[in-house]
Amino acid sequence: MKILLPTSTAGSLPKPSWLAEPEVLWSPWKLSGDALVDGKHDALKVSLHEQQQAGVDIVSDGEQTRQHFVTTFIEHLDGVDFENRKNVRIRNRYDASVPTVVGPVARKAPVFVEDAKFLRAQTDKPIKWALPGPMTMIDTLYDDHYKSREKLAWEFAKILNQEAKELEAAGVNIIQFDEPAFNVFFDEVNDWGIACLERAIEGLKCETAVHICYGYGIKANTDWKKTLGSEWRQYEEVFPKLQQSNIDIISLECHNSRVPIELLALIRGKKVMVGAIDVATDDIETPEEVANTLREALKYVDADKLYPSTNCGLAPLSRDVARAKLNALAQGAAIVRAELNA
Ligand SMILES: [Zn+2]
């Protein structure tokens, strides 16, 4: 990356209202058949355009072709029965009706590779592509086949590696794995979660990232955050081992969160995507607020390793709010970039 402080988003962006109901997760598609295929492509173009208009440097598909960051990937796999549903507790936080693993899991065909080629053809900017991480995937399923969280995560890691290699060949520059589960299951993260992630990136030459956040601004998450006390030290449990891992970039929630910023010292040497935009409020950050978060992070992250970003995906927000937040991100990064170049 040539420019200093390249901006990006954590992943999802709001969808146009003609494609899916806005401000809702798991929103059903409003189109079907060929119209849906075209509609997803058009939405991807609009999302890319809005990122570029705002001055986002590392662009993405805005997850316009997926209903949900985990479910949509799993829907494309063999071995998971979406009709056969069980109630499980997601990330120890809320109950959900989830599909069942009924046999060996396998990727019957590429999932996002055609979408990535489509995005690549639209822009010369670096592209980041988000995939769910193995631990977060197993946490949204009922496993009636492997009967071992670790074994199932390992199988998903192999599948993710196949997909990641094809995304890399399609021209994706950064492949990101979303692992909000890393903020919850610390023992498993250290025992096998990070090892599974390293299996998922095996043999990749492009850059790799892991996104660990406190979730979308939905009620289950904001209620959970209220129980975490005045200092959120979850990152402290997993940073030492992540610092030793082969993952290039760590994407984190920083702005408005109670994460003590000095925890970033534990991942010194890694590139850090610093969340400088709160996704749990419609209040628009000022560029100066963004700049302040970045200046704080610069105490622990070298300038050439700092990537200003959002705390999490912006999908549940209105398009106006999301656009304004992206503008603030780019303007805040520009302030600090100018200071560093002075
Ligand atoms: Zn997130």
Centroid of ligand 1 to alpha carbon of 219 (angstroms): 15
Q: How far is CA 106 from CA 68, 146, 152, 201, in A?
A: 19, 13, 11, 17
The tens digit of pLDDT for each residue in 16-75 reads 999 999 888 788 999 999 999 999 999 999 999 999 999 999 999 999 999 988 999 999
Centroid of ligand 1 to alpha carbon of 42 (angstroms): 25
Query: Residue 149 is encoded by which pair of tokens?
Result: 């969280």
DSSP per-residue codes, 242-302: HHTSS--EEEEE-TTS---GGGGGGGTTSEEEEE-S-SS-SPPPPHHHHHHHHHHHTTTS-
Centroid of ligand 1 to alpha carbon of 275 (angstroms): 10
Centroid of ligand 1 to alpha carbon of 320 (angstroms): 20
Ordered by where they begin, the domains of the chain are 33-341 (3.20.20.210)
Centroid of ligand 1 to alpha carbon of 102 (angstroms): 28
- Amino acid making up residue 272: V
pLDDT at 239 over 90: yes
The tens digit of pLDDT for each residue in 92-139 reads 788 888 999 999 999 999 999 999 999 999 999 999 999 999 999 999
Centroid of ligand 1 to alpha carbon of 60 (angstroms): 15
Centroid of ligand 1 to alpha carbon of 341 (angstroms): 31
C-alpha angle 328-284-308 in degrees, rounded to nearest 5: 40
Centroid of ligand 1 to alpha carbon of 211 (angstroms): 6
Task: Decide: 251 and 305 in contact? Cβ < 8 Å.
Answer: no
Centroid of ligand 1 to alpha carbon of 259 (angstroms): 14
Centroid of ligand 1 to alpha carbon of 215 (angstroms): 5
pLDDT band at 251 (very low <50, low <70, confident <90, very high): very high
Return the pLDDT at 220.
83
Centroid of ligand 1 to alpha carbon of 9 (angstroms): 10
Centroid of ligand 1 to alpha carbon of 191 (angstroms): 22
